[in-house]
């Protein structure tokens, strides 16, 4: 897998039109976090530096092709004194594969503050990197994500909310130092946010084979952070029904500051005989 600097390195091809590179992958379809992060990069390129993104809402409307570049078309919906809004379409072969709206807020606004607390969990250095306990689809994806430290906290190592049927807690970060640029870290977290989240919906259903795909994805960026420092991804799945699962994640920095929130619905359809949970390329296709 290419480094994140390459993945987020979009080429400007005209006013408000950008092209994201094809990224070598064992996946047949484009990783959802990749297209969301690239769409966010395209949007940020059209916004003045006095504002930073505070939220995005995206829909995965068609599977992308991982071996092909993606074109991003940005619409400037509004530029106000405090907020700017952008709409982005990701296109391959003339077809929209992802649609996103993003909102940007000026950096110097102030107001009252409060925050959820991070739950008490073991620190990442105390955890072993053992993917053998994860579903096969998760292990396949971990091979794609070699640039990232991903440590799933053992279920018995933290207190569970008895009202939440499905819970999963993950420490993650970039293994490599990243550029000292706030926007780069935000776009990187958009990429990372699609890692492991949908799999949290399978915690109560071990061994149940499902077809998995992201359907929609929303994020709120709350406080500054670095994606190359440990972040705790506290995940729950409030519901799974009719072949879809709703998942929700709160992301904290190591000091316990709530830095981002993610909500995602994904396909979790019972897998047909002979099907693949996450379509992967065959060895002979390389």
DSSP at 175: S
Q: How far apart are CA 42 and CA 87, in angstroms?
A: 10
Q: Which tokens in the block code for residue 90?
A: 């990701």
The DSSP output letter for 48 is -
Fold (topology level) of 4-107+128-285: Porin (2.40.160)
User: How many whole angstroms separate alpha carbon 112 and alpha carbon 132?
Assistant: 45
Q: What is the pLDDT of residue 130?
A: 61
- Angle subtended at Cα 74 by Cα 73 and Cα 78, rounded to the nearest 5 degrees: 160
How far apart are alpha carbons 16 and 108 in whole angstroms?
A: 26
| Distance in angstroms (rounded) separating the CA atoms of residues 1 and 146 | 7
Per-residue pLDDT tens over the stretch 61-92: 999 998 899 999 999 999 999 999 999 999 99
Task: Name the token pair of 189.
Answer: 């977290």
Q: What's the number of CA atoms in the CB half-sphere (13 Å) around residue 87?
A: 6
Q: What is the mean pLDDT of residues 22-44?
A: 91
Q: Give Cα 185 to chain centroid, integer Å.
A: 12
Q: How far is the C-alpha of 70 from the C-alpha of 53, rounded, in Å?
A: 22
Catalytic residues: 194, 214, 264
pLDDT digits (tens, 9 = 90+) for 182-205: 999 999 999 999 999 999 999 999
Identify the H or E element spanning 235. strand 231-241
Of residues 144 and 105, more confidence is placed in 105
Q: Hey, where are the domains in the chain?
A: 4-107+128-285
The rounded mean pLDDT for the chain is 91
Q: What's the residue count for the chain?
A: 286
Sorting pLDDT into bands at 50, 70 and 90, what band is 284? very low
| Model confidence band, residue 123 (pLDDT cutoffs 50, 70, 90) | very high
Q: Specify whether the CB–CB gap between 158 and 119 falls below 8 A.
A: yes
């Amino acid at each position: 897998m290419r480094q994140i600097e390459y993945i987020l390195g979009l080429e400007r091809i005209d006013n408000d039109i950008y092209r994201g590179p094809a990224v070598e992958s064992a996946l047949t379809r484009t990783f959802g976090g990749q297209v969301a992060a690239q769409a966010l990069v395209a949007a940020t390129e059209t916004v003045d530096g006095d504002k930073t993104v505070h939220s995005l809402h995206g829909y995965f409307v068609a599977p992308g092709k991982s071996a092909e570049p993606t074109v991003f078309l940005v619409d400037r919906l509004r530029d106000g004194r405090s907020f700017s809004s952008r709409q982005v379409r990701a296109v391959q072969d003339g077809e929209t594969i992802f649609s996103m709206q993003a909102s940007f807020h000026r950096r110097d606004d102030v107001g009252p503050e409060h925050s959820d607390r991070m739950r008490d969990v073991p620190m990442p250095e105390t955890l072993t990197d053992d993917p053998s306990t994860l579903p096969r689809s998760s292990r396949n994806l971990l091979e794609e994500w070699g640039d990232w430290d991903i440590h799933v906290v053992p279920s018995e190592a933290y207190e569970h909310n008895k009202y939440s049927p499905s819970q999963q807690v993950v420490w993650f970060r970039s293994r490599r130092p990243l550029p000292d640029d706030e926007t780069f870290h935000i776009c990187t977290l958009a990429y990372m946010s699609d890692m492991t989240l949908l799999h949290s919906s399978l915690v109560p259903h071990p061994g149940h084979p499902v077809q998995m795909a992201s359907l929609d994805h929303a994020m709120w960026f709350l406080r500054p952070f670095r994606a190359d420092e440990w972040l705790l991804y506290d995940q729950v799945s409030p519901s799974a029904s009719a072949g879809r699962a709703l998942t929700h994640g709160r992301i904290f920095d190591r000091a316990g500051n709530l830095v981002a929130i993610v909500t995602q619905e994904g396909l979790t359809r019972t897998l047909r005989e002979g099907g693949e949970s996450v379509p992967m390329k065959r060895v002979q296709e390389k």
